[in-house]
Amino acid sequence: MGREVDDVERRLRLREFRKERMQRYLEKRSELDESLEEVFDQRTLLALYELLNTGRLREVMGVISAGKESRVYHGVAGDGSETAVKIYLTSSAEFRRNRLQYVVDDPRFKSIPRDFRKFVYLWAKREFANLVDAYNAGVSVPKPIVQRENILVMQFLGENGVRYPLLVEEEFESDELKMIWGQLLENAAKMYKRAALVHGDLSEYNVVIGRGPVVYIIDFAQAVKLGHPLAETLLLRGVETLARFFKKRGVSVDVEEAVRVIKSG
């Protein structure tokens, strides 16, 4: 009799404890959830909660970057490592129009959905595939983790929730800049030769500088495979954009030589 009462009491206490813990957890989450709910539609939230429920993601925390068409959040992966969670908005009407040119002629994605939402999913899937190809070719990129619908999860480039700066955001000594240029060429060459990929939007805004300095290349949404009608133009444009930036910072680099190095080593 006594033991049964103890049991009941213990179970009641446990239930109370769990309820309190859940309450605290929900309170902590609610602020972020509210902001997520303001920005994303039900299906995006569902996909996000699925990633959380299946343990692929442990937590989604503050926003790192809020663009017009995507948001990037700081998160924690199932294994406890820090992640970046990039989520495309499914509400911009120009999205498809501006991006069609990159998606056509991609042998990996033959059918292009007319439906707006499905097009955004394809866009995210393509970006993730590009990131995986670059990563497997040994290019210095955030490690890809998982992609669901309009959500991409990858390694967080930073420490303790503080992201590493973009190339454009930091001042560097001229010998550091030269090192950075060298690493950029090396990575672009790996991308070209080993992954048959051109980044497509290479600039000081899509290069992250970690400690060392170590160069990371991000944002593979506009990348195209070699043979794509835009590949050569985009390669040249990327090198020119970076060369202009380096020149502004006092380091002059040779565009033609760079393109030659990227293509042939």
Residues near ligand ATP (CB under 6 A) are 64-65, 67, 70, 72, 84, 86, 142, 154-158, 163, 166, 206, 218-219
Is position 219 annotated as part of the catalytic site? yes
Check residue 203 for interaction with Mg ion (CB under 5 A).
no
The number of beta carbons lying within 10 Å of the beta carbon of residue 27 is 9
What count of residues does the chain have?
265
Select 163 or 259, whichever has its Cβ closest to ligand ATP. Answer: 163
Check residue 219 for interaction with Mg ion (CB under 5 A).
yes
Partner from ligand ATP, Mg ion, none binding residue 64, C-beta < 5-8 Å depending on class: ligand ATP
Cis bond upstream, residue 213 (ω within 30):
yes
Catalytic position from the list 33, 105, 219, 254? 219
Is position 201 annotated as part of the catalytic site? yes
Question: Min. distance of Cβ 219 from ligand ATP in angstroms?
Answer: 3
Question: Min. distance of Cβ 254 from Mg ion in angstroms?
Answer: 26
Question: Min. distance of Cβ 41 from ligand ATP in angstroms?
Answer: 19
Report the candidate in 18, 151, 170 with the shortest Cα–Cα distance to residue 75: 151
Q: What's the sign of the alpha-carbon dihedral 171, 174, 176, 180? A: positive
Q: Which residues bind to Mg ion, rule: CB under 5 A? A: 206, 219
Catalytic residue list: 201, 219
